[in-house]
Chain A
Amino acid sequence: MLAAGKGPQRCKAEAAPGHNAMFTYAIRRLLQAIPLLLFISIILFTILHYMPGGPLAPYMNNPHITAADIARLKHNFGLDRPVPIQYLSWLGKYVTGDWGWSTMNSEPARQAIFERLPATLQLMGISYLVAITLGLVFGILAAVKPYSPIDYFVTTFAFFGFSMPVFWFALMLQMLFAVHGIHWQAFGYEVDYHFPSAEMTSTEGGGFWDRVQHLVLPVTTLSLLNLATWSRFTRASMQEVLHTEYMRTAAAKGLPFLQILLKHGLKNALMPVVTITALSLPGLFSGAIVTETIFAWPGMGRLFITALQQQDFSLLMAYLVLSAFLVILFNLLADLAYGWLDPRVRYD
Chain B
Amino acid sequence: MALVSDALPQPATPAAADEYVYQRHQTWRKFKRHRLALAGAAVLILIAVGAIFAPWLSHFDPTASDPNWQGTPLAPGQFGHVLGTDELGRDLYTRLLYGGRISLTVATVAVVIEILIGTFIGALAGYYGGLVDGLLMRLTDTFLSIPLLPLLLVLTGIVAASSSKASLNFTSIVLIIGLLSWMSVARLVRAAFLSLREKEFTEAARAIGSGDARIVLRHLLPNAVAPITVQATLDVGNVILLESVLSFLGYGIQPPMASWGSMLANAQENVTIAPWAAIYPGLMIFITVLAVNYVGDGLRDALDPNVQ
Contact = CB atoms under 8 A, between A and B. Distances in A.
Interface of A: 4-6, 36, 39-40, 43-44, 47-48, 50-53, 57, 159-160, 162-169, 171-172, 174-175, 179, 282-283, 285-286, 289-290, 293-294, 304-305, 308, 311, 316, 319-320, 323-324, 327-328, 331
B272 A166 contact: no
A100 B233 CA distance: 43
Nearest to A33: B145
Interface string B161-180: 11000000000000000000
Interface of B: 137-138, 141-142, 144-151, 153-155, 157-158, 161-162, 187, 190-191, 194, 237, 241, 244-245, 248-249, 251, 261, 264, 267-268, 271-272, 275, 278-279, 281-282, 285-286, 289-290, 292-294, 297
Given A4-B191, A39-B142, A51-B154, 14 more contacts: A36-B138, A36-B142, A43-B146, A47-B151, A52-B161, A159-B294, A160-B290, A163-B290, A165-B261, A167-B264, A282-B145, A286-B148, A305-B249, A308-B157
Given A36-B138, A171-B271, A294-B268, A327 B145 contact: yes
Contacts of B190: 5
A163 B286 contact: yes
25 contacts: A6-B137, A36-B145, A40-B146, A44-B151, A47-B154, A159-B293, A162-B293, A163-B286, A163-B289, A163-B293, A165-B241, A165-B261, A166-B245, A168-B248, A168-B278, A171-B271, A171-B282, A172-B279, A175-B271, A175-B275, A283-B147, A286-B150, A304-B150, A320-B147, A327-B146
Contacts of A50: 158
A47 to B, nearest CB: 6
Given A282-B147, A304-B150, A320-B146, A167 B158 contact: no
Contacts of B154: 47-48, 51, 308, 316, 320
B287 to A, nearest CB: 8
Contact of B146 (A57, A162, A179, A324): A324
Contacts of A159: 290, 293-294, 297
B286 A165 contact: yes
Contact of B150 (A53, A179, A323): A323
Contacts of A316: 154
B150 A168 contact: no
Main secondary structure, interface of B, reads helix
A324 B285 contact: no
B171 to A, nearest CB: 17
A168 B149 contact: no
B120 to A, nearest CB: 18
Contact of B162 (A40, A52, A168, A174): A52
B145 A328 contact: yes
Contacts of A160: 290
Contacts of B275: 175
A39 B191 CA distance: 24
B147 A324 contact: yes
